[in-house]
A and B are shown apart, each in its own frame.
Chain A
Amino acid sequence: MAITLPQDQVAGEMAAVGYVPDRDLATALWLMNSLKRPLLLEGEAGVGKTEVARALALARDTRLIRLQCYEGLDQSSALYEWNYQRQLLAIKAREGQHGLNADQVEEQIFSEKYLLERPLLAAIRQSKPPVLLIDEIDRADEEFEAFLLELLSDFQVSIPELGTISALTIPMVILTSNGTRELSDALRRRCLYHYVDFPDIDREARIIVSRLPHIDAALALQIASMVNLIRKEELRKAPGIAETLDWAATLAGLDIRVLRDEPEAVFETLMCLIKTAEDKTRMTRQVSDRLLGKVA
């Protein structure tokens, strides 16, 4: 039987724009689309959670609307805000003129023209379903999470002065979390869930090749296995995929073919992967050579 399953199709679309998803993620993305549920991605920093949203937007050729969460994020900076300055100016400008009564003025200044759209409102007013990325939701306060819950289930917003605005299209919502705060059960239940792990050696090699098309496939495999070994060392900050790509680009730029032949250069360029002073002292030449010995 040679039928293409929808999740394989998703995987193909994503791979075409340079993101290599594993089978589970492809299934989750397909489910997200067909069930119209948000997708919650968890995982360590650097595993490419945000990248999923970016790639999805590219693959679907649609807009990526990003809401970066932070402590103290409130509705007005996530949803909408009135442009007070313009409203006041408009009132001031009309002061001398007659013919408009107070109600009419009010109606005018609380109109579309004076509304400042923020990411969430923008996301539900697109004619083509955008990808809405709600990044690091665990940084936002619990009350914001509750508000988001309401929006994600109804996809409509009520603005007291304008009335209710319903979504034109349902956006594809991706939430990411680093686990700095425990999310509520209610939010978790509403979402599909996928735990993003570091890719295995094979997949990481494919990611390197897809991003750096000129790189030698054998070198990509060596790089991927070296990075995989480094992640198993007890480092404070395990290198992410972006770091791997930096390193791969550096090595390719130095025209290195076989890692084991150039231990000096490997050690020196390892700094692409190491992010803290503590890890730097731990990653000595000896460690580097020992790991290199294990790379096939």
Chain B
Amino acid sequence: MSALRMSEADLGAMMRAKLSGFVTTLRDNGFIIGLAEMRDALGVMSGACASRPSRFRPALRALFCSRHSDWQKFDEIFDAFWTGRGMKSATRMTGAPRKAPSGLQAVAGGRGLGDSLNADHVQRGEDAEQTEVGQSKREGASHTETLARTDFRHLTDPNDLAAAHDLAARLARSMRARLTRRMRARRVGQRLDLRRTIHKSIAHGGTPIELIHRRRKDKPLRLVVLLDASGSMSLYSAVFLRFLHGVLDAFREAEAFIFHTRLIHVSPALRERDPQRAVERMSLMAEGVGGGTRIGESLGTFNRWHAKRCLHSRSCVIIVSDGYDTGPAEQLGAEMRALRRRCRRIAWLNPLIGWRDYVAEAAGMKAALPYVDLFAPAHNLESLGAIEPYLARI
């Protein structure tokens, strides 16, 4: 070990600069690399591998990758960086449309694809700022933070969209970790079941040799998510699906549905291990229907066929929709009332709330509002994160 770490000093400054450039490129591409990994990498390069630079690749890959997606990207970035084409090509390569998740291309449409082929990372950031995200300035923060505050409908660049998806997945993971932790912390430890212990001890003349433990049964928070996948929501649903996929993973009893003109049960597809594939399967399901949204009717289907199985006293129903209903508003109101009786809370997330001057004037939205406990915006990642404290209280 010491031989590996000692010789850092011997390593040329040039090599060190080159390596840190490589690490920067990797970080730009979503790798999480800390100082310890850097130090180990330097050790490896100056130590046992120094005689054979061709052996850098597997060593650095083992050190710097931490998940399968990293593993898949690594070779491409490595080649681009070390074979002399430099950093620019490495970033550009991952920004190229064919690397963009296929589920997203439909959402992104034709716009922006051509540009991203030629633009590099920094330039694109500035473009976006000038043209589309005019109102949300960078505020001196990093690129990711801007993304968190950017309305999803401004994300036309596949690279940014992919980054937003990654952010959504990460946000979901950290949120899920905190929520499950809180749930666990509440039921503290094992307790002795005195009654049964004493009963058992009779056989041993009253000495409690066998200790019987008792665990409090806990009824975890159950989430049921109904996601609007109609035409008017198409810009948001892809990111939401990715987010939901991450959140639902933790809640073993969670159920997810999407609806447009009908209701589709998507939990099995969402349980797909690979988030990208899940999104793809989902967009396949949603395809070909488009057009209007019949929220009332879809809720009716849910109440009739699924509610009994899905809901209990510690359930929270989250509806993600802009509230543009093509069905009669009375029906929506009635179904909302029926739903209200069955669950603990109803949260309605509406991407439009994030827009300036938004007033809930769609007839459907107005009819539903009296039965909604939380009416919150969901137009960017920051607003998604903001619903966590609400869920934690239930």
Contact = CB atoms under 8 A, between A and B. Distances in A.
Nearest to B43: A35
Contacts of A84: 211
B280 interface: no
Interface of A: 1, 3, 5-7, 23-24, 27-28, 30-31, 34-37, 39-40, 42, 84-85, 88-89, 92, 141-143, 179-182, 184-185, 188-189, 191-195
A142 B49 CA distance: 36
7 contacts: A5-B48, A5-B52, A31-B63, A39-B62, A88-B209, A92-B207, A185-B32
Interface string B178-219: 001100100000000000000000000001111100000000
Interface stretch (B53-61, B85-93, B101-109, B360-368): B53-61
A288 to B, nearest CB: 28
Among B62, B181, B184, B209, chain A packs the most CB atoms within 10 A around the CB of B62
Contacts of B209: 85, 88-89
Contacts of B40: 31, 35, 37
A207 B367 CA distance: 67
Among B4, B65, B170, chain A packs the most CB atoms within 10 A around the CB of B65
Contact of A182 (B52, B62, B173, B180): B173
Among A88, A143, A181, A182, chain B packs the most CB atoms within 10 A around the CB of A182
Contact of B273 (A35, A36, A180): A180
Nearest to B170: A185
B207 A27 contact: no
Report, nearest first, the 10 A-B pairs whose CB atoms are least far apart: A188-B66, A27-B58, A28-B62, A24-B58, A195-B71, A193-B65, A192-B62, A88-B209, A193-B66, A27-B59
B1 A35 contact: yes
Q: Contact residue range for chain B?
A: 35 or more
Contacts of B43: 35
B253 interface: no
Given A180-B273, A188-B32, A195-B71, A31 B44 contact: yes
A180 B63 CA distance: 23
Given A1-B51, A24-B62, A188 B177 contact: no
Given A31-B44, A189-B66, A143 B184 contact: yes
Contact of A192 (B1, B49, B63): B63
B71 A193 contact: yes
> What's the dominant secondary structure at chain B's contact region?
helix
A180 B272 CA distance: 9
B67 interface: yes
B249 interface: yes
Nearest to A88: B209
A88 B201 CA distance: 12
Contact of A188 (B67, B180, B184): B67
Contacts of B341: none
Nearest to A42: B68
Contacts of B65: 193, 195
Nearest to B178: A142
Contacts of B129: none
B70 interface: yes
B164 to A, nearest CB: 18
A18 B34 CA distance: 36
Contacts of B67: 42, 188, 193
Contacts of A179: 68, 273
A28 B209 CA distance: 49
B249 A182 contact: yes
A36 B32 CA distance: 20
Interface string B154-178: 0000000000000000100100010
Contacts of B4: 34-35
A33 B67 CA distance: 21
Contacts of A23: 58
Contacts of B70: 193
A23 B55 CA distance: 9
Nearest to B246: A182
Nearest to B172: A182
A58 B4 CA distance: 26
Nearest to B215: A72
Contact of B55 (A5, A85, A89): A5
Contacts of A3: 51
B211 A31 contact: no
A259 B377 CA distance: 63
Interface string B331-358: 0000000000000000000000000000
A42 B68 CA distance: 8
Among B58, B59, B207, B208, chain A packs the most CB atoms within 10 A around the CB of B58
A192 B63 CA distance: 5
Contacts of B68: 42, 179, 195
Nearest to B5: A35
A85 B246 contact: no
Nearest to A37: B40
Nearest to B65: A193
B59 A189 contact: no
Contacts of A191: 66
A185 B66 contact: yes
Nearest to B70: A193
Among A3, A92, A195, chain B packs the most CB atoms within 10 A around the CB of A195
Given A143-B184, A180-B273, A188-B67, A7 B207 contact: no
